[in-house]
Amino acid sequence: MAEIPAQGPGDHELIRAAQAGSEAAFEALVRRHENRALRVARNLVSNPEDARDLAQEAFIRVFKSLERFDFRHEFTTWLYRIVTNLAIDTLRKRRPQVSTAAPEDEEGEWELAVDGELPSEGLEREETVSQVRACIDRLAPHFRTVMVLRELEGLPCTEIARIVGATHVTVRWRLHRGRKLFQDEWSRMQGAGAKPRQHPEARSVRPSETTSRPEEG
Amino acid sequence: MTDESLTCPDVLEKIPLYVGDDLEDLDRADVGLHLSDCASCRRELEEARKARAAFVGHLDRSLEGPSSPSLWPAVRQGLLEEGLLSEPRSVRPSPGPRRLLPLAAAAVLLVALGGVWDWPWQAEDQPGIVDSSALPAVTVAEDLGPVRDPFRASPLLRESSGLRRVGWSDTRLLDAAPGASSEWRLVPEAEVRPALQVNQLAGYR
Ligand SMILES: [Zn+2]
């Protein structure tokens, strides 16, 4: 990614200094990583003002928890985790719960945002950008998070697993499922009656045993 | 697993990961072999690629670069409102090297005193709690030249810092705020843990 290479003290040094009371060190940490936080927030919650508020709140939470920072990890892992958790909270608050979903089937509950009109019913066909946005908005938060961390930040699944607090297998499953759901939505919008010819062997979107849903920890 | 073991449904299930190069090496090779021989699956791959390109192309990378205003002022304001930072200090317009001189003097004083005093705040019964009233005051009197300042190299840090530190073995000198009086408080390193306490301690002016 196009992060500006860190100059001067490393993140861990800045954290130690901030722990010792240096506001300047904390400021340096914020300025070094704010674009990263904003970028992820913006791509998760869409609304720029919300994203900015979210990123600010993330750094305030970082400050509050500075003493508990685990120096075995990178600061960015922690920051991504705080940003994505806040984003998921924001996204979930925004949409009504699906009351029919079985409580234990969290993945099912959040696969697609089912509230509101279908995007194809409310959008102009030529607005591809809006269509894509609508497809992304219909992705459940935990799919969207994994996809943004993978496609935007270019993080490996192992790192994403640390960020979202899930196993590597779960992350890969979410990536698989998220891409598939997005593609289905996008194809549906693109096609709207002229859906591309499906592979004769194509199944429903349920993943096979090779990409079966892992147990959520 | 060999390529012969992969059926079209197997491959279709792997395409969402294959399309982003997220399969394990062995899987990727098997899928690649199947695709080289199966036009139907290649069409599905093409659809997956188009969808992924739409997703990736939509991602907003506009924040890369220095254009957007920093979050720091708002973050700082938030921390102030929550009482997590000390109030803004009056900052002199042109903080120069002279700012560091009193620190040098204090550091030296600290060395002089360190071996003699039995520091009262090292009590074990209140770990991490610093009673600032118990701290000795050190009067800075002399210009003793430059001292080590870990943040000196960074303009960013220097620019906004209302707090300077001088490292000295197991002690630290806190609060070198511009405009502060010539009185400095010394705190043992081991006691300087929670940022909040340090800020309260250092925020006396
Ligand atoms: Zn095939």
3-state secondary structure of B155: helix
The answer, for B81 touching chain A at a CB cutoff of 8 Å, is no
The average pLDDT across B140-146 equals 29
CA distance B171 to B191: 9
Ordered by start, the domain boundaries in chain A are 11-94, 126-209
- Minimal Cα distance from A195: which residue of B? B47
Q: What token pair was written down for B110? A: 């600290």
Q: What is the pLDDT of residue A112?
A: 53
What's the pLDDT tens digit per position in A123-179?
454 567 888 888 998 999 999 999 999 999 999 999 999 999 999 999 999 999 999
Q: What is the distance between the alpha carbons of residues B74 and B116, in angstroms, rounded to a whole number?
A: 45
Task: Please judge whether A202 and B12 are an interchain contact, meaning their C-beta atoms are less than 8 angstroms apart.
Answer: yes
Contact A20 B150 (CB under 8 A): no
Choose among B58, B158, B202: nearest Cβ to A136: B58
CA of A82 to the centre of ligand 1 (A): 42
CB pairs under 8 A between A and B: 202
Q: Which two tokens stand for residue B55?
A: 């997703």
Tens of pLDDT, residue by residue over B14-31, are: 999 999 999 999 999 999
Residue of B nearest to A19 (CA): B195
> Reading across the β-sheet that carries B166-168, which strands appear in turn?
B137-139, B183-188, B171-174, B166-168
CATH topology of domain A126-209: Arc Repressor Mutant, subunit A (1.10.10)
The ipTM, to two decimals, is: 0.78
Taking domain A11-94, whether its CATH number is 3.30.70.270 is answered by no
Question: Using an 8 Å Cβ cutoff, are A164 and A171 in contact?
Answer: yes
Show residues of chain B in contact with A20, CB under 8 Å: 165, 172, 192-193, 195, 198
CA atoms within 13 A on the CB side of A85: 16
- Position A113, amino acid: A
Residue ranges of domains in chain B: 8-58, 97-201
A68 vs B: CB within 8 A: no
Question: What residue type is assigned to position A91 of the chain?
Answer: L
Query: B70: phi > 0 → left, psi -120 to 50 → alpha, else beta; which?
Result: beta
Which of A16, A30, A35, A137 to probe by mutation at the B interface, max B CB count within 10 Å? Answer: A35
Pair B31, A210: CB distance under 8 Å: no
Cα A201 to ligand 1 centre (Å): 8
| Residue labelled with tokens 């497809």 | A135
Tokens of A91: 């996204």
Preferred mutation among A50, A199, A213 to probe B, highest tally of B CBs within 10 A: A199
Q: What is the pLDDT of residues B60-114, one digit of tens each?
A: 887 655 567 899 999 999 999 999 987 655 444 443 444 444 544 554 444 444 4
pLDDT in tens, A52-102: 999 999 999 999 999 999 999 999 999 999 999 999 999 888 765 433 333
In chain B, what is the greatest distance between 2 CA atoms, to the nearest angstrom? Answer: 85
Q: Could you tell me what percent of chain A has a pLDDT over 70?
A: 70
**Residues 70-109 of chain A whose Cβ lies under 8 A from any Cβ of chain B:** none
Chain A residues whose CB is inside 8 A of the B9 CB are: 201-203, 208
Q: What stretch of H or E contains B174?
A: strand B171-174
Question: What is the pLDDT confidence band of residue A214, given thresholds at 50, 70 and 90?
Answer: low
Q: Which residue has the tokens 């499953």?
A: A173
Q: Which helix (H) or strand (E) holds A128?
A: helix A128-137
Can you give the pLDDT at residue A146? 97
